[in-house]
Structure 1
């Protein structure tokens, strides 16, 4: 078969993900697909995968994708005639301490949100399901009967066969030398046999995806690491119906394999591989043995399954897998190059992820948007610095082991830290800051008082910083607190057409006087929230957009791609040019007034306005707005002037009881006030009407806005779901996210975010309640009448619902 010179889609890489994408594109009717594999299908990492097909993942949407994969693999052999080796033998995870058991129980509770069958097991039941397993230290476990396993090579071949049967062309031994880019768009690929022009190109190159992406000017942050498993000689007592056994506290998984035992590990300190690039010749290759590296975990596995100690090892295997900085794979269109998509970095769960990833990426490509909220894996979450090889190598030492390590609330990475630091970092550190990381930024999450070490002691209960953060929270409620929010992403939109451009993108009206601030969402054509931010009019032709650090890449790409080519306007990222100090609380006005000649009174400086003021020796943009529900100002300071302004505020603040505050307090404060958080409470699947943000939508503004028709239609048809706030009646329990939400004994949603409200003394959460289309179902009074419960680690707890904030529902304090 000759290589064509034209295709609608070219896929680079013939592992299970690339073949799944080809399969799903053709399933959607897109048959003009060419898949190019440098050697042979599966020859990179797919061929040596263990073939585990689990369904329960860390988040709601990733679990939905894994569920789809399981359902697909169960029918693939029947459809294609190609054996896959798929069997639903179930999987069992065990816990050896109470915290691990709570983690498993919280996961089991989340599984109920989408009908996943999960059984909780006692140590005796664990032993019954896996005869011969040592359960002397086991406190319990969970069993998922619909989990399975497959043969990765055969499953990939089945996907390839299905794709071929519908017209896809697959070429082996055809390495791609370069992705062709013209005018910021991918237009094809170049191979030794010639060029193929294409409408869309997909980087499914696995371990090679980082280098291929870099050649294309895109950030594809992943790094290979050595991954170890053994296969024993045949063992008595093993049978093919045994579930996969996961012992996360031993970093191990156990799987029956044709009468033998396969044991693999995710060790806490991994061995990155391929720092200088993956050899072009690599194909069905193994890496050198390193028994010394894995011996402690092998000894632990022998304790868990004693028969292993008296059985010979037939194969000691070491093969590479690729890992991303946050252990979540990379999916979607690159922000740097249009029509260039990525599906890579599957963190050793590529087999169980491939089906769902292939389906949603095919939908994304053909429909022009993702079919569901994919922020967990969206490549637009990545930052340009994450292309750095040294950073990736150092982070990979940790990320492999995180698959089986404890998934603590608020857990922070330990490696490759200090990439992005506020100019105030050392000052905050000197005041006891304990830093967390977001998008590479070192941010003060809480402050340790004198004599307390600023380090995390993780748990599922009240962690060691709980009381210190409570003090920060109450300082903001009762006095004045200061946050370093320099990590805000900041964009300038400038030019004669700036107002018109932002007016079309924004749901709210930005045609406001100079000095006015606008809280708004950017919507997609379906009315879903793509961004949640503020816009300040600095001049007739200049606006400043402020958004979250985590969405810097995504929001800038959305903005730039929605500026028409003929518009007299441009967008520029100015994030690093300004530090931000937020001074918040009832005493914030008095503190700032003591330092500036500008009249800070409510009459002279109303809420939602911004002025340039003198502060210290600097000229500072002071914006009266809040994310904590109190009187306050965000101060935008030229970076080089920020240390001086900080010192002046700290000195003057002593008279007002000023307290430095961290992001944990920011979170608890915003939860009391019911402020939404993009990525948790709102996403591109949620509309402002569902989220209770209709006040930020100007439905009748001249020129309209993206998503307007969808919102008008939704208003006419009526809502079927709405975001509510909840307070647990038991203040000892803590909510995080994805806890099932019950109304009158029936699951109607899940908690999207949670935090303890120190000012109210209650554990708080938000979550969407599904109420269907029955007449009056969405009526506020009827919604609040139900008996609500939230399930926490298997226990249902009574909850009080509210459509308005529990704290200061009329917002009198912020406008004082």
Structure 2
């Protein structure tokens, strides 16, 4: 019997592939006193029955880097540890049966080329040659990734566990963590049940790799870890003569994947509507368990598979398997330190891609824990994106019925989730709905994305070209450029920082100068020690000791965590005020005329210059007006207490029928025309503020602040790349983001943002261009193209905004 230690540097909870990977990578970094605790036996939850597919291409560059790392790691593990991993680089095929899917997989092929992943576009004849058993009569396109493969999931975990032990990590089975202990907001250890007795291990760090058990364990510590198990099905045939080692095959239009292994064929499903499991908790005895068969649920997938691969008509069924896997509300896993509890780290919620993800995730988390920073931007999977309400079990149960199927659904631009909606709403939600709003969701907020005309259906009809709301979008966009538009941006995050040391604290965490007069608005970033952008925000000084920080809706928890991490002993109170005020953005050249209709205050340039905020009268109430813009036009953001929000909106609409209601798609297209940056797309924590073109918002002469030295170093050496704006010459193609960026015939990167610029007359994108040792003239002197689904389109490049480059419209 293994004895539990009394203390450890880190306790890892969960012995699946994720926990074993974290232990392995921390041990590789020379950490000692690593203890991994598994409630039953290693791999007994989900890992043991995973399909073991190794697909390297993911949704963005850094997730692809992690998947590629996993593939490389698994190929060398067997030699390192002596544990057979079953790793075979058989490649993968994805076939399209519709023109829409053809567009998607060809865009993915372009993305693979941009990310350095080997890819070939192949014909149906090529597919038949690689997969003789496949019916290819209706295949319209296919892509082949020769570097993909498959493995034995349980043995991968065992190899990682052995590698961790070889470096001194202790792994204990039959040890259930019943509680993570903490004191004053920091982890102090774990209580462990083993052989009927409770013991305590003192530790300043824990890592929750608990998979489907992880949510409830985290919730007991006040940590939000939104995930829920679903039933996940696959079928394995009896041995088939001459089957051989075939590529992994994905037929997403039929919700199916295929894998040959040991002479048998596996058929797996990502059905459109999944079955949640474990709503009332997971049985205490659960260990290498399967769930009851539900052939009726699986039968539609099998029917399509039988037509696609006729061998299923005659092959006997060896196994029909149903096992639980964890899924998250957005189909992305969770990594990082929980914002609610210092020392509480997470690596969980892998959405059925845990094997290919865990190698890279373990590497990234180990570096993050060891050095204090991740190896690169991980916002896509950062635990800080999770919203506190998302640990609601009913919400999760409803949402995961959809997210499992979305893995193989068409990944259209602007695709909206349909389940578990309506959780967070603006006070004027029903007003907007009555006027034709079609809503999307961000961080649980219902936000008007576009407005339907009378008699027009209020639904998305998805496409890779102009969707059914394209004309609505054009009308809204041009209203902002030529008249006046109104956006409901109540979802903006609003954080109040106040107290005796509020100014000194903000001077230390913000790159711009916060020592301004009350009523001034400052655009700034919060930087890390590398000069990367952790937060992108405006700060309004309300008084001598009070400031309002306005941040994107999706980053509120991240930004709160960053502030609280750095406040230290400063006498400053940080408060999330998001729901206290609604925000209405009145934007366009006629905005001043509208404001003068609804308020007796003076909105002239002299009385109310750009970058200022003050209280005004509006209708029968009071609001705070901020003269600032994210669309590149004259305008005001109106901050209204929630109790007066409906009255303020009604006053505006009734007094000014010329107002056009606008949605978030228009906000995005206008900001891209103006080359305004978007956090998470154009700027992240690995993007240097100077290379992002935001050096104007950094004031190194104000004194010391986080990131100052990195800014000065980069200013001296010069940028290695620049964020450039592009416009396609051809007005027909559409850009969304992640299109391959081509310079002088060579792929050099991807577009970070894309939308249609109706005022400029074509698709607009942003993207980073390598420029080390080059002048601006040399950067702009190159020939640029953007590759869309394998077709390259000529593009104009600019380092200044193509729309209103001198910002004259904003300040008029």
TM-score normalized with structure 2 length: 0.99
2:97 is equivalent to residue 96 of structure 1: yes
- The 2-side partners of 1:321 and 1:753 are apart by 33
**3-state SS of 1:645 partner:** helix
| Match in the other structure for 2:636 | 633
**3-state SS of 1:568 partner:** coil
| Match in the other structure for 1:573 | 576
User: Which of 298, 306, 322 is equivalent to 1:302?
Assistant: 306
Bigger mean CA offset, 343-352 vs 731-740: 731-740
Indicate conservation of the 8 Å contact 1:77/1:158, yes or no. Answer: yes
Indicate conservation of the 8 Å contact 2:224/2:387, yes or no. Answer: yes
- 1:255-294 maps to which residues of 2 (within 5 A)? 255-294=259-298
- The 2-side partners of 1:31 and 1:731 are apart by 59
2:587 is equivalent to residue 584 of structure 1: yes
Indicate conservation of the 8 Å contact 1:505/1:705, yes or no. Answer: yes
Indicate conservation of the 8 Å contact 2:412/2:463, yes or no. Answer: yes
| Match in the other structure for 1:735 | 735
- 1:87-166 maps to which residues of 2 (within 5 A)? 87-166=88-167
User: Which of 324, 327, 348 is equivalent to 2:328?
Assistant: 324
Please give the per-residue CA displacement for 1:735-784, whole angstroms capped at 9, x wherever unaligned. Answer: 11111111111222211000010001111000001133xx4x2x111110
2:346 is equivalent to residue 342 of structure 1: yes
| Match in the other structure for 1:523 | 527
User: Which of 223, 231, 238 is equivalent to 1:226?
Assistant: 231
Distance apart, 1:61 and its partner CA: 1.3
- The 1-side partners of 2:204 and 2:598 are apart by 59
- 1:160-199 maps to which residues of 2 (within 5 A)? 160-193=161-194, 194-199=199-204
**3-state SS of 2:240 partner:** coil
Please give the per-residue CA displacement for 1:355-413, whole angstroms capped at 9, x wherever unaligned. Answer: 10000000000011211100000000010000000000000100110111111100000
| Match in the other structure for 1:802 | 798
Indicate conservation of the 8 Å contact 1:744/1:787, yes or no. Answer: yes
Bigger mean CA offset, 97-106 vs 738-747: 738-747
| Match in the other structure for 2:711 | 711
Distance apart, 1:568 and its partner CA: 1.5
User: Which of 352, 373, 377 is equivalent to 2:377?
Assistant: 373
**3-state SS of 1:555 partner:** helix
- The 2-side partners of 1:280 and 1:518 are apart by 54
**3-state SS of 1:539 partner:** coil
Indicate conservation of the 8 Å contact 1:106/1:792, yes or no. Answer: yes
Q: Which runs of 5+ in 1 are unaligned?
A: none
| Match in the other structure for 2:561 | 557
User: Which of 382, 396, 409 is equivalent to 2:386?
Assistant: 382
**3-state SS of 1:421 partner:** coil
| Match in the other structure for 1:661 | 662
- The 2-side partners of 1:560 and 1:157 are apart by 39
Aligned length, in residue pairs:
807
Indicate conservation of the 8 Å contact 1:94/1:141, yes or no. Answer: yes
**3-state SS of 1:7 partner:** coil
Distance apart, 1:453 and its partner CA: 1.1
**3-state SS of 1:6 partner:** coil
- The 2-side partners of 1:661 and 1:509 are apart by 33
| Match in the other structure for 2:778 | 782
Indicate conservation of the 8 Å contact 1:126/1:140, yes or no. Answer: no
Distance apart, 1:233 and its partner CA: 1.0
| Match in the other structure for 1:212 | 217
> RMSD of the alignment, in Å?
0.8
- The 2-side partners of 1:161 and 1:211 are apart by 29
User: Which of 425, 433, 450 is equivalent to 1:446?
Assistant: 450
Indicate conservation of the 8 Å contact 2:597/2:656, yes or no. Answer: no
| Match in the other structure for 1:200 | 205
Bigger mean CA offset, 384-393 vs 50-59: 50-59
| Match in the other structure for 2:616 | 613
Distance apart, 1:196 and its partner CA: 1.0
- The 2-side partners of 1:433 and 1:352 are apart by 40
**3-state SS of 2:731 partner:** coil
2:532 is equivalent to residue 532 of structure 1: no
**3-state SS of 1:501 partner:** helix
| Match in the other structure for 1:624 | 627
Distance apart, 1:789 and its partner CA: 1.0
Please give the per-residue CA displacement for 1:408-454, whole angstroms capped at 9, x wherever unaligned. Answer: 10000010000101011000000000000000000000000111011
| Match in the other structure for 1:812 | 808
Distance apart, 1:487 and its partner CA: 0.2
Q: Which runs of 5+ in 2 are unaligned?
A: none
- The 2-side partners of 1:784 and 1:591 are apart by 41
TM-score normalized with structure 1 length: 0.98
- The 2-side partners of 1:371 and 1:257 are apart by 35
Indicate conservation of the 8 Å contact 2:208/2:347, yes or no. Answer: yes
Indicate conservation of the 8 Å contact 2:186/2:204, yes or no. Answer: no
Please give the per-residue CA displacement for 1:638-684, whole angstroms capped at 9, x wherever unaligned. Answer: 00101011011001111xx2100000000110011000000000000
Distance apart, 1:101 and its partner CA: 1.0
- The 2-side partners of 1:295 and 1:212 are apart by 35
| Match in the other structure for 1:769 | 769
| Match in the other structure for 1:646 | 649
Indicate conservation of the 8 Å contact 1:266/1:400, yes or no. Answer: yes
Indicate conservation of the 8 Å contact 1:618/1:637, yes or no. Answer: no
Distance apart, 1:476 and its partner CA: 0.6
Indicate conservation of the 8 Å contact 1:748/1:771, yes or no. Answer: no
- The 1-side partners of 2:564 and 2:268 are apart by 45
- The 1-side partners of 2:217 and 2:283 are apart by 13
Indicate conservation of the 8 Å contact 1:527/1:708, yes or no. Answer: yes
- The 2-side partners of 1:370 and 1:155 are apart by 24
**3-state SS of 2:379 partner:** coil
**3-state SS of 1:358 partner:** helix
Distance apart, 1:192 and its partner CA: 2.4
User: Which of 240, 244, 255 is equivalent to 1:251?
Assistant: 255
**3-state SS of 1:229 partner:** strand
- The 2-side partners of 1:114 and 1:592 are apart by 49
- The 2-side partners of 1:134 and 1:636 are apart by 60
| Match in the other structure for 2:46 | 45
- The 2-side partners of 1:404 and 1:744 are apart by 35
- 1:12-23 maps to which residues of 2 (within 5 A)? 12-23=13-24
2:475 is equivalent to residue 479 of structure 1: no
Please give the per-residue CA displacement for 1:563-612, whole angstroms capped at 9, x wherever unaligned. Answer: 122x2210101110101100000000011011111110001000000010
- 1:349-368 maps to which residues of 2 (within 5 A)? 349-368=353-372
